[in-house]
Amino acid sequence: MKPIRKLAIVVNEDKPGAPELARDLCQIAAAAGVRCKQTTRFPVARGYLRGMDACCVIGGDGTLLGVARESVREQVPLIGVNRGSLGFLTTFSADEVRSQFARVLGGEFRLDRRTMLACSTRPGSEDLALNDVLIKAEVNSRLVRLEVFADGELVTDYTCDGLIFSTPTGSTAYNLSAGGPIMHPSAGVIAMTPICPHTLSNRSIIFRDHVKLRVFNRSADSRLLVAMDGQRNLKVGSSSPVEISIAKLRLPLAQRPDYSHFSVVRTKLKWSGGFVERR
């Protein structure tokens, strides 16, 4: 990759050690002749990443999700440094980034281009999500009846707490907790996983990359809430469908050259298929 000459840094100052780590990385960048600017605000302001070669996000996955929309709009790669808990998106540890940052600035990184979802609830309301789109009743205690169409064809209807539409990147987030499948980030598909459906059969559905999904609210007494990456809510009209598809642009995410998705999954989820003999 090309060397990084202009770097934005986004710091979640509520995470232990994040401000100190940001100072260290700024010093490394200055020694390499890289110009830096820094903010503690996320989601970042529109245009903050314009003209930058990369953005280093120091915090947790939620911090990175707060920068993702601006990153994909400006096509500025994100370097995620984990100061949170799981860290599926912020895959660099503090020690790794300190030891490798000069090489990363020199262009020694791999660029993954992650699928994002485009969602609209009315004309001109399109928003982007890196992990997932959640559709549920506005009142938490209520079930909702949702009818799903794919490319104009009825898929099925659910009476449930809600539906999760997940990217492969988001498959290890809410989708996984709801019993959905783990997907490789390069799969380029959409998973639909019902939340507590009122049925004896509960299975996720995987849709192809070019699908156009429409979800209708068939509950006369319930309004819908549409949450994008768990951070932003879209308003839904009483008769308007929620439309979901794969976005045209992809998120550029910087990774170590030896990055392995399944290694991250095994480590973060303590996932192993090994047999343990009982004695």
CA distances from 215 to 133, 136, 229, 240 (A): 12, 11, 18, 9
- Measured in whole angstroms, the distance separating CA 37 from the mean position of its chain's CA atoms is 24
How wide is the angle at C-alpha 140 spanned by C-alphas 137 and 141, nearest 5°?
Answer: 105
| Tokens representing residue 88 in the block | 């599926």
- Among residues 61, 112, 161, 229, the one annotated as catalytic is 61
Is residue 129 within 8 Å of 171, Cβ to Cβ?
A: no
**Catalytic residue list contains 209:** no
Residues with Cβ < 8 Å from 275, sequence gap 6 or more? none
Is residue 244 within 8 Å of 118, Cβ to Cβ?
A: yes
Is residue 230 within 8 Å of 174, Cβ to Cβ?
A: yes
Bridge partners for 192 per DSSP? 165, 205
| Tokens representing residue 263 in the block | 């290694």
How many residues does this entry show for the chain? 279
How many Å from the N-terminal Cα to the C-terminal Cα in the chain?
A: 52
| Tokens representing residue 233 in the block | 């809510």
Residues identified as active-site: 61
